[in-house]
Amino acid sequence: MPADLNPIDNAKFVAARRAVDFVEDGMKLGLGTGSTAAWMVRSLAERVRDEGLRVTCVATSRRTAELAVGLGLDVRTLDEVKWLDLTIDGADEFDTHLNLIKGGGAALLQEKIVATASDQMIVIADAAKEVAQLGAFPLPVEVIPFGWRTTKALVEETLVSMDVIGREVTLRMTGDQPLRTDGQNHILDLHLNRIGNPRQLSLVLNQIPGVVENGLFIDICDTVVVGHPDGRVQVRDINSGRFDEGRVALPPVENIFAGQD
């Protein structure tokens, strides 16, 4: 791991490293997508290498699969594995009820499928991702390319009756072309500022023709691991109400993280 990480990366790293402590030998694991999840994949690979853990992994995106395979992890498809013991993933926002906004990395559909096919979901995040109310981060909605402008208009019309502040909807681009997800769909980003009723909004959005899935993860996350730049880590379990705090030491440069982005 580079010695000159910025404070946010330090926080992401310690959260990821602590979350990997929940992994046990023989587990079937879902691997999330995003910068924090990438630290988790590297930490998991280090445990597999050093402790001889046997784990079977299902990736939530092509880029996570490529990283995991490159680090020597056993990656299978969800159809092969069928059900998972644990999924560890990041989040763009989470609230006190551990409801999430995900999809900043454009992998929300596969992330939600994998998370709901797991006995447990652990979210890893830096402290800045915790919010009193969801919505400051734009809510991603995955839509099929066919008729996406009509779908966008229907989403905008639906937002008029929802408990939100903003209603701007934008098509996510990559360069001058619409972004394509792993499923070859588009992403609409909903700039809502505040979501008063996430459960209602999630249900209503998914009824709109053309919408594949939205980035609201309601009642899916069981535990959140929050990292801080100074190495402190907090673990909150929504089911037991447990709250633990500890510290993760930053490792020396000479380890599995050397040479990684």
Residues at the binding site are 33-36, 89-92, 102-105, 129
Q: Hey, what are 99's tokens?
A: 């409801």
* Residues taking part in catalysis: 111
* Residues annotated in a binding site for substrate: 33-36, 89-92, 102-105, 129
Q: Show the 3-state SS of 121-146.
A: EEEEEEHHHECCCCCCCCEEEEECCC
Contacts of 51 (CB under 8 A, 6+ apart): none
Cα–Cα distance between 261 and 38 in angstroms, integer?
9
